[in-house]
């Protein structure tokens, strides 16, 4: 089968929807959640939103991997340099892996501290002090790694689009024909 010029429309939609969700999780996680005490009533709402969007990202990731394996993708974009191409490939792989790790550590934290019952079960129990627990620690460290990877991914995409001018963004958009 001939290789298409763009990704499957569902993969394109998933890419931008996940980008929006992950940006929200990272931004509000770092700026609001961490700086709001567990005793404040608004924290319960913020954490429920955070966990729900985080779980949605986990489901979207699985759908995306499944679809990625079942669809024909455009030929690999080259940066004109073997080392940069390898960094690009590694970044893409690590992005999938690290996003999965964020979701897994979030779920781990929720089980460890019985957060699902508190957030969704209406138990009325207060949020426990989870800040020093192992899954909370992993979640925080992996979040920093994800921020670095997302930064690298954006720099790479801009390098293709504006320096190499190879129209990379068109591949991750809807085919007009």
Q: Please calculate the CA angle 3-9-13 and round it to the nearest 5 degrees.
A: 135
Q: Which of 12, 17, 19, 26 binds ligand HEM (CB under 6 A)?
A: 26
Query: According to the binding rule CB under 6 A, does residue 55 interact with ligand HEM?
Result: yes
Whole-angstrom Cα distance, residue 25 to residue 102? 10
Q: How far is the CB of 154 from ligand HEM (least distance, A)?
A: 15
Q: Which of 29, 60, 118, 156 binds ligand HEM (CB under 6 A)?
A: 29
Q: How far is the CB of 175 from ligand HEM (least distance, A)?
A: 28
Whole-angstrom Cα distance, residue 15 to residue 64? 8
Fill in the DSSP letter of residue 162: I
Fill in the DSSP letter of residue 8: -
> Hey, what are 35's tokens?
């700086």
Q: Which of residues 128-147 bind ligand HEM (CB under 6 A)?
A: 139-140, 143, 146
Query: According to the binding rule CB under 6 A, does residue 31 interact with ligand HEM?
Result: no
Q: Please give the size of the binding site for ligand HEM, defined by CB under 6 A.
A: 25
The answer to whether residues 150 and 22 touch, using CB atoms and an 8 Å cutoff, is: yes
Q: How far is the CB of 114 from ligand HEM (least distance, A)?
A: 11
Question: Taking each helix axis from N to C terminus, what angle separates 9-28 and 41-70, rounded to the nearest 10 degrees?
Answer: 150
Residue with tokens 């501290």: 113
Query: According to the binding rule CB under 6 A, does residue 54 interact with ligand HEM?
Result: yes
Whole-angstrom Cα distance, residue 104 to residue 108? 6
> Hey, what are 26's tokens?
């990272």
Q: Which of residues 94-113 bind ligand HEM (CB under 6 A)?
A: 99, 102-103, 106-107, 109-110
**Number of C-beta neighbours around residue 103 at 10 A:** 21
Cβ distance to ligand HEM smaller for residue 103 or 168: 103
Q: How far is the CB of 92 from ligand HEM (least distance, A)?
A: 16
Q: What residue ranges bind ligand HEM (CB under 6 A)?
A: 22, 25-26, 29-30, 33-34, 47, 50-51, 54-55, 57, 99, 102-103, 106-107, 109-110, 115, 139-140, 143, 146
């Amino acid at each position: 089968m001939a290789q298409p010029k763009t990704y499957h429309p569902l993969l394109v939609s998933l890419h931008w929807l996940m980008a929006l969700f992950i940006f929200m999780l990272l931004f509000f996680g770092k700026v609001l959640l961490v700086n709001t005490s567990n005793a404040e009533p608004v924290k319960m709402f913020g954490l429920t939103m955070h966990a729900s969007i985080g779980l949605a990202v986990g489901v979207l990731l699985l759908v995306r991997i499944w679809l990625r394996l079942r669809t024909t993708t455009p030929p690999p974009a080259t940066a004109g340099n073997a080392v940069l191409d390898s960094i690009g490939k590694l970044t893409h792989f690590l992005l999938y892996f690290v996003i999965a790790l964020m979701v897994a550590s979030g779920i781990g934290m929720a089980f460890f501290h019985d957060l699902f019952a508190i957030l969704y079960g209406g138990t009325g129990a207060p949020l426990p002090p989870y800040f020093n627990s192992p899954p909370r620690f992993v979640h925080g460290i992996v979040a920093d790694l994800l921020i670095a990877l997302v930064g690298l991914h954006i720099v790479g995409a801009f390098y293709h689009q504006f320096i190499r001018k190879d129209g990379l963004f068109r591949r991750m958009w809807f085919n007009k024909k």
